[in-house]
Structure 1
Amino acid sequence: MRHAALPGMPDYDPEDLYAADRPNELSPVVKNDPSYVYVPNTESNTVSVIDPATYKVVRTVPVGDQPQHVVPSWDLKTLWVNNDQGNSLTPINPATGQFGTPVPVHDPYNLYFTPDGKSAVVMAESDKELVFRDPHTMAIQTVLHVPCEGVNHADFSPDGSYFIASCEFSGHLLKVDTAKHTLIGVIAMEHGAMPQDVKISPDGSVWYVADMQTSGVWTLNGDTFKITGFIPTGNGAHGLYVSRDSKSLYITNRGEGSISVLDFATGKLVAKWKIPGHASPDMGGVSADGKVLWLTGRYDAEVYAISTVDGHLIARIPVGEGPHGLCVYPEPGRYSLGHTGIFR
């Protein structure tokens, strides 16, 4: 294990950042929490709650306007529904399933947490801001104005010293100092790029950035902050998810209804799983046992449960309109960096 750059951040394994995410290795904080899949329906202003044992919706709960993501807190004790146009965060107690009173927060398109647990980072997409807030009360700590349009996804360096965020609408990548809350660098990507999800490899050597417009994944050296290559995956590359054994990266191709599988060891694509019929796989997460990849069908009002063994479709579950950043919970890991569940 190696000491982190941020005081308060847990030590980490430099050879595998996801070493704490092995199948069913749940933190004591969440080991007794009931297992559910929480689905924010952006156009219906609801959250569908799915029982993963039966693949059935067991509850549909009204929330604020345009819920975009359901995000686990750093301490694993709260799930936050990002009501983007409702300008609020609705807390869920995952131990009881109870939805709490919304907390006023402006433009919370997405939400992350610094690896030391000291700040929540609201991706205020329309406001062109990264807003650092108290992780419990959501009181503002710092506002960082960003020189790009559509800032929305991110991931953190192995030692926690910086994070890299994507700006969807202007085709930029940002590098931000985690402790100082300052901008370190900006990359203007090639014309027409539309960067989406961001994910770092288990050994920290390669960053992957899904690009919905160029239909593939860019590779990046985070320390030098330089793009190193491009891997075509499929139409509308969007979400990035790490397998429970840290060997594979699942890449959702929203425009063609498929999932590409990348082998971290070789950096090569090893499989492509096509969802039968029309499908629009978007955001999601991996089940606690690692056997199921859960994804929303953004334009089809449904959720897909996909086998990570061979890619076959296990279930197709009707939900509300515009399902987006679903959260599978609980999941293995010591703490959460946010989004739909980045655990380390």
Structure 2
Amino acid sequence: MPPPLDPQDLYAADRPGQLADAVRGFPARVYVPNTESDTVSVIDPATYQVVDTLHVGRQPQHVVPSWDLRTLWVNNDLGNSLTPIDPATGTAGDPVDVHDPYNLYFTPDGRYAVVMASADHQLVFRDAHTMAVVKTVPTDCAGVNHADFSPDGRYFIVSCEFSGELLKVDTAAMTVLAKQRIPLDGSMPQDVKISPDGRTWYVADMKADGVWVLNGDTFAPPTLLPTGRGAHGLYVSRDSKSLYVSNRGEGSISVLDFATGTLTAKWQLPGGGSPDMGGVSADGSVLWLSGRYNAEVYAISTADGHLLARIKVGSGPHGLCVYPQPGRYSLGHTGVLR
């Protein structure tokens, strides 16, 4: 695994303008998978206009940068396939057969893709380039969906949406080390993010209406930090100081200060909305989020939280990807770069 540029900041490689050589020259675009339209809307962030619509497989859930940053993979969950997009040209290639690819991650050494096979209750380790199956790991939990990796890459933590559980997985051994149930009846954990210093994990929970705070090393029971109704997505600011939390159920975004572990702001979308998944612009000035139940995308200023644009897209927009982004390699999801 490439070591962190700064041992005290896992996101030190994600500063504005720090684009890897592999992505220099790629046009800036926002790729939006529309789960109910079976399409990907392509937005030009400079004009806030949809400039292309790509037809992909059935129920695309997330658009995921490959570990080497050269390919975007569209996760066609019910289509049982991954559609590659060339970010240099914006064109879609032939789909690759992959069963139940709800979400997709990559091991920090770049060797393996990890498919979050939600309906199959499995983590499927595959060759990162050919997508051939290497090992299938039963999870014994329902709805595996999001994850993040420890600073040294030795383990990762996975949320299980439909059984309210968390898994701790040994990356090299490809085995589940531990499992715990979140201490709230009806819990539905979603996105997972580790703090810049690597000591604290955050897990959004849309039924707990907040973020669970966890020590990944000890894997002790987490504590809840309330943020807003339907807490869902987690995104790190380009200066590594803040965590943006999308509260899908109330149309707001909470801002958490990593240094203090406290909330410093809440941004309400004017007229409401359903902010879901997305990412931060390459220069750090805009937070892009899909409006899951409103067939729209939100561009939000990270300076003060005001809405810059509301863009109509297909039906059921979900895990949108802002691309290119700063960073040396991708751990997957909608752009977890380090």
Task: Normalising by structure 2, report the TM-score.
Answer: 0.99
Distance 2:116 2:188 in 1: 17
Q: Mind listing any 5+ residue stretches in structure 2 that lack a counterpart?
A: none
Distance 1:256 1:80 in 2: 30
Q: CA deviation at 1:61?
A: 1.1
1:312 to 293, 299, 306: 306
Name the structure 1 match of 2:215: 221
Q: CA deviation at 1:229?
A: 1.8
Query: What is the DSSP-based 3-state SS (H/G/I as helix, E as strand, rest coil) of the residue aligned with 1:76?
Result: coil
1:211 aligns with 2:210: no
Name the structure 2 match of 1:284: 278
Query: What is the DSSP-based 3-state SS (H/G/I as helix, E as strand, rest coil) of the residue aligned with 1:75?
Result: coil
CA offsets 1:10-59 (integer angstroms, 9 cap, x no match) = 01122000000001110011011111000000000000000000000001
In structure 1, give the amino acid aligned to 2:77.
D
Q: Mind listing any 5+ residue stretches in structure 1 that lack a counterpart?
A: 1-8
Name the structure 1 match of 2:27: 34
CA offsets 1:231-266 (integer angstroms, 9 cap, x no match) = 100000000000000000000000000000000000
Name the structure 1 match of 2:85: 92
CA offsets 1:38-84 (integer angstroms, 9 cap, x no match) = 00000000000000000000011110000000000000000000000
1:11 aligns with 2:11: no
Distance 2:196 2:310 in 1: 30
Larger CA deviation: 91-100 vs 123-132: 91-100
| C-alpha contact (below 8 Å) 2:19/2:325 kept by paired residues | yes
Distance 1:266 1:60 in 2: 42
CA offsets 1:299-326 (integer angstroms, 9 cap, x no match) = 0000000000000000000000000000
Larger CA deviation: 33-42 vs 183-192: 183-192
Task: Describe how 1:1-344 pairs up with structure 2 within 5 A.
Answer: 9-12=1-4, 13-190=6-183, 191-344=185-338
| C-alpha contact (below 8 Å) 2:27/2:88 kept by paired residues | yes
| C-alpha contact (below 8 Å) 1:304/1:317 kept by paired residues | yes
Name the structure 2 match of 1:6: none
| C-alpha contact (below 8 Å) 2:182/2:222 kept by paired residues | no
Larger CA deviation: 227-236 vs 112-121: 227-236
In structure 1, give the amino acid aligned to 2:17.
N
Q: CA deviation at 1:98?
A: 1.4
Distance 2:296 2:220 in 1: 37
CA offsets 1:128-165 (integer angstroms, 9 cap, x no match) = 00000011110000000001000000000000000000
Distance 1:203 1:34 in 2: 32
Distance 2:200 2:272 in 1: 32
Distance 1:47 1:32 in 2: 21
Distance 2:201 2:221 in 1: 9
Task: Normalising by structure 1, report the TM-score.
Answer: 0.97
Note the aligned Cα RMSD (angstroms).
0.5
Larger CA deviation: 185-194 vs 263-272: 185-194
Q: How many residues align?
A: 336
Q: CA deviation at 1:228?
A: 3.9
| C-alpha contact (below 8 Å) 1:218/1:227 kept by paired residues | no
Q: CA deviation at 1:227?
A: 2.8
| C-alpha contact (below 8 Å) 1:306/1:315 kept by paired residues | yes
Q: Give the percent of matched residue pairs that are identical in Structure 1 and Structure 2.
A: 74
In structure 1, give the amino acid aligned to 2:210.
G
